[in-house]
Structure 1
Amino acid sequence: MNQYSKRNSLLQIALFGGAFAATAALTLLTPVGSRAVRAQLQNSPKAIVDEVWQIVNRDYVDGSFNQVDWEATRTELLSQEYSSPEQAYAAVRVALAKLDDPYTRFLDPEQFEELTTQTSGEMSGVGMRLELNAETQKITVVEPIENSPAKKAGLQSGDQILQIDDRLTEGMKVEEAAQLIRGKEGTEVSLRVYRSTQGEFDVVLKRERIELQAVQYNIRAEGGTNVGYIQLSEFSSHAAEQMRHAIGELSDRGVDAFVLDLRGNPGGLLYASIDIARMWLDSGEIVRTVDRNGGSQDFRANRSAIAQQPLAVLVDKNSASASEILSGALKDNRRATIIGTSTFGKALVQSVHSLSDGSGLTVTIAHYYTPNGTDISQLGITPDIAIDLSTEDKRRLAANPQLRGTSDDPCYARAVASLLAQVQQAKPLAIQ
């Protein structure tokens, strides 16, 4: 996404519980201070310090800045001398910490690049998910992504990655292996692979720009009813189009009901959550945001729903932010049954800015409220049907991810029971 390379690039509205993200409007900054001061800041680490201060000064949701004298903070920041960007970054982080807001934070260039990769829903690589196998302690392919270089080359689930270029993977962490395999689009990476049915072999893969799958789905027969199961991992820039495709394909295959799994989803883009809500809702409010001046913006359904079948939504304590907007909208409009535990409780909206040296800044700019006017801060969305998994169930599902969304998953099983009752109730009575 080359727009991120522009100076003072783009304002991005995001709702990640632990990250942030997506493009909305151009950010234009008018420097505060004299022309002499502005000239002094050019090509200096102080330029980044002042960029950060200005954005927070203009946009931060709390006009009192947590009772911090923000003007005095600028004077203090610009009175210091910074011999390196890292010193300026450290000073910025100290200043932002005074706001006592974990979502208003500074990102160095590497962190900002990781963020933009995550929220764009794209990456440059070979397209496969890796894990450190608990039994073999080998870097292992979980699955290759469809239409990726790894898939085209025939790599399979269970393949062990023994060597990446000239680096053996013995004792390597999965994050380190993934970092070595990722790289610039068009470059190549050589892998030595072990497959139980074939032994060791080498494969050379050319890295490509790959769209990451935020949506996984399938159809399941449950008590004579076809249930479409959709798992949404995050609200990236491709999530809405992937969700539309999943709903459309499952509907074409004749599903009678849907289960939407948002467990562990940390959130993502505001507009992705609104677009997805509109796929399920024909009418009604989705969310209302309020800025520091009391200005509000209402987002509503627009009669563009593509699914009318009964819906259950699975949530847990790690379903955050955009996940809470979607589940809150579906709950308050009585469109879905929410099942699981109370969600994370993040009712804040962030903007994300790229800075002139490639670093970035996330700033809380608004609160949001569910259609019923509920402020879920620190409380989360309360499920319609509460299910608190036992320690054993949590351990079992964590160790066996393939059990998620099956009859061995208590939340999914309860969702199916609820949906079957709704489907049965909706059937016309037979005429005797």
Structure 2
Amino acid sequence: MQFKGRTVFAFVMLTMFASVLVTLTIADKLIDPKERAEAALTAAASDRASRYGLKEDELTKLNAVLELIETKYYEKVDRHELVDGAVNGMMSSLEDPYSVYMEKEVAQHFSESIEGSFTGIGAEVTMENGKIIVVAPIKGSPAERSGLLAKDVVISVNGEKLDGLSLQEAVAKIRGPKGTKAKLQVLRSGFSEPVQLVLVRDDIDVETVYANLRKDGIGVIEIRQFSLHTAERFKEELTKLEQQGMKGLVIDVRNNPGGILPVVVDIAESFLAKGQTVVQVEDRSGEREKTLSEGESKTYPISVLMNKGSASASEILAGALQEGAGAKLIGETSFGKGTVQVSYNKALGDGSLVKMTIAKWLTPNGNWIHEKGIKPDIEVQPPDLYTVARLSMSDTLQQDMLGEQVRSVQIMLHGLGYEPKREDGYFGLETKEAVKRFQSEHSLKVTGKVDVKTAEALEQAVIKWIQDENNDVQLHEAIQAAGRK
């Protein structure tokens, strides 16, 4: 598939990545002027206006409503807001969470974020059936540190409910200056009560590629997102690993929400022989166009490590390497984002832009993974400590209490080796004794009750456990797979 011009990764938000913006996206403003001479643009614009512009009766209807609002509505209104609302209405009528209108200020953030520089909580969200769904927290971000997980449903921010808001309106509630707090309330599968999370907005690490060579000769390259310079960085690190005698490779795209299409194609070509299909794109008429590799295959084994936060470009890479390079996919079923978007800003002329879904993408073998995801060859679920809800203390927890907070304490104690004997949310005698053992070993007052200090110590112990690579069972399985000939 050859797109004219450059494609951009829409990391828009100052706070959260909105998946209506984080997509495989082509920016109208970046199209090569040599390919679109001004004369051709003028002619094309005139032709489009005559073929697709509003008909007289349609224009009359819109003008009539505009006049009624401006002359009869009981409060004064901003004309620009009315026009923006009309455009928003058209995009909303598509009922596609990945097609969106961005007003000038949001569009400006979009443009700035192409380079990967932004402040916020570091997570991507989308909207499904009116609900704000987390696609993935970015590794090392406030979102990940707080325990926000893929598939969480965000229902309120700092006490303000998100019901009835558009995705952009919800994102606006979440974004804010560095150092400020965002108190999120989320619904999580397996929990009967909402989970409370407190995040401190911060600068998000823009480095996208991290690599290391293990003593056993297996290289590990983590890709956190596919931004403008990711392919370049990936190839640099891959070359270093190969020069050091790497015997096998693990590519880790867990919680990678996606990015720029040409970038992921460039990376995939590092492993696919010349002429092999990297990805297919299918337009509205069902016509398919293939992107063929210009690279070469490798002799060493490859495994791709993914989870339910691996989306879009991450899924393109996983599918391409599984079907074209014999790579083994390890971990969990991926998110399931199988569409391509194009962003247009020149057509609107006022600094705003429209981003719209224009095609499906399919794996080399023609599989469309949208809303299904890609299943791993070897499924490995993360330990409970990776998904346990963080503690939000309002009351001291003690014996005979019941609730989700107690359940989280029990899961934490169990994972850390302090066996509470149960994980059903009832604070029994065994849980009390487990709390005492934890307190004793962490120089806390031994009460058997979970107060704020004990809760904080538990949280820190869990974070330390998660950060210990020895506890990463998914990574260990991927390493084993990459070590097999």
What TM-score do you get using the length of structure 2 for normalisation? 0.56
Deviations 1:70-100 (A, max 9, x none): 9987775565438432322222122211111
In structure 2, what residue type is equivalent to 1:359? S
- Give, in angstroms, the shift of residue 371 of structure 1: 1.0
Q: Give yes or no for contact 2:278–2:293 (8 Å, CA) kept in 1.
A: yes
Aligned to 1:117: 112
Report the counterpart of residue 415 of structure 1 in structure 2: 478
Residue type of the partner of 1:295? Answer: E
Per-residue displacement from partner, 1:306-358 (whole Å, max 9, x unpaired)?
x5421111111111111111100111124311011111111110001224222
Q: What is the aligned counterpart of 1:271 among 248, 262, 266? A: 262
In structure 1, distance between residues paired with 2:361 and 2:180: 47
Superposed displacement of residue 295, structure 1: 3.0
What is the letter of the counterpart of residue 326 of structure 2?
A: R
Measure, in 2, the Cα distance between the counterparts of 1:343 and 1:285. Answer: 21
1:288–1:368 CA contact under 8 A, matched in 2:
yes
1:19-98 matches, cutoff 5 A: 19-20=22-23, 21-23=25-27, 25=31, 28=41, 30=45, 77=62, 80-81=65-66, 83-98=78-93
1:273, distance to aligned residue in structure 2 (A): 1.1
Shift of 1:242: 1.0
Task: Report if the CA contact (8 A) 1:312-1:337 is conserved.
Answer: yes
Equivalent position of 2:156 in the other structure:
none
| Aligned equivalent of 1:374, options 360, 363, 367 | 367
Q: CA RMSD in A?
A: 3.8
The CA deviation string for residues 371-424 of structure 1, in whole angstroms up to 9 with x for no partner, is: 1111112111111111122432434899538956823111101111222233xx
The answer to whether the 8 Å contact 2:330/2:380 transfers is: yes
Query: In the aligned structure 1, how far is the partner of 2:378 from the partner of 2:58?
Result: 48
Contact 2:247/2:483, CA 8 A, preserved across alignment = no
Task: Establish whether residue 100 from structure 1 lines up as the match of residue 92 from structure 2.
Answer: no
1:216 Cα shift?
1.4
Q: CA deviation at 1:253?
A: 2.1
> Which deviates more, 354-363 or 20-29?
20-29
Worse-superposed segment, 354-363 or 10-19 = 10-19
CA–CA separation in structure 2 for the residues paired with 1:368 and 1:133 = 29
Q: How many residues align?
A: 312
Residue 25 and residue 335 in structure 1: after superposition, are their counterparts in 2 closer, same or farther (change >3 A)?
farther
Distance in 2 (alpha carbons) for counterparts of 1:263 and 1:269: 17
Distance 1:176 1:71, change over 3 A: farther
**Which residue number corresponds to residue 331 of structure 1?**
322
Give the 3 Å change call, closer, same or farther, for CA 176–368 of structure 1 in structure 2. Answer: closer
Q: Which amino acid aligns with 2:94?
A: L
* Deviation of the 1:169 alpha carbon: 5.7
2:405 matched residue in structure 1: none
Change (3 A) 1:359 1:334: same
Q: TM-score scaled by structure 1?
A: 0.62
Percent sequence identity is: 27
**Counterpart contact for 1:22–1:237, Cα < 8 Å:** no
8 Å contact from structure 2 (residues 257, 314) kept in 1: yes
Answer whether contact 2:319 2:363 (CA < 8 A) is retained.
Answer: yes
User: Does the CA-based 8 Å contact 1:11-1:351 persist in structure 2?
Assistant: no
Give the secondary-structure state (helix, strand or coil) at the position aligned to 1:415.
helix
C-alpha distance in structure 1 between counterparts of 2:470 and 2:199, whole Å = 30
Q: Which amino acid aligns with 1:291?
A: D
The aligned residue for residue 174 of structure 2 is none
Alignment of 1:267-306 (within 5 A): 267-283=258-274, 284-304=276-296
1:189-247 deviations in Å (ceiling 9; x for gaps): xxxxxxxxxxxxxxxxxxxxxx93111112222xxx22211111111111111111111
Aligned residue for 1:400, secondary structure, equals helix
Whether 1:322 aligns to 2:313 is: yes
Matched, 1:313 2:328: no
CA contact (8 A) 1:263 1:316 kept: yes
Whether the 8 Å CA contact 1:230–1:260 is kept in 2: the answer is yes
Shift of 1:276: 0.7
In the superposition, relative to structure 1, how do residues 220 and 402 fare at CA in structure 2: closer, same or farther (>3 Å)?
farther
Cα distance between partner residues in 1 of 2:479 and 2:117: 33
Structure (1/2) with the larger strand percentage: 1
Q: 1:253 to 1:391 in 2, by over 3 A?
A: same
Matched to 2:344, the amino acid is: H
Cα distance change, pair 100–238 in 1 and its aligned pair in 2 (3 A) = same
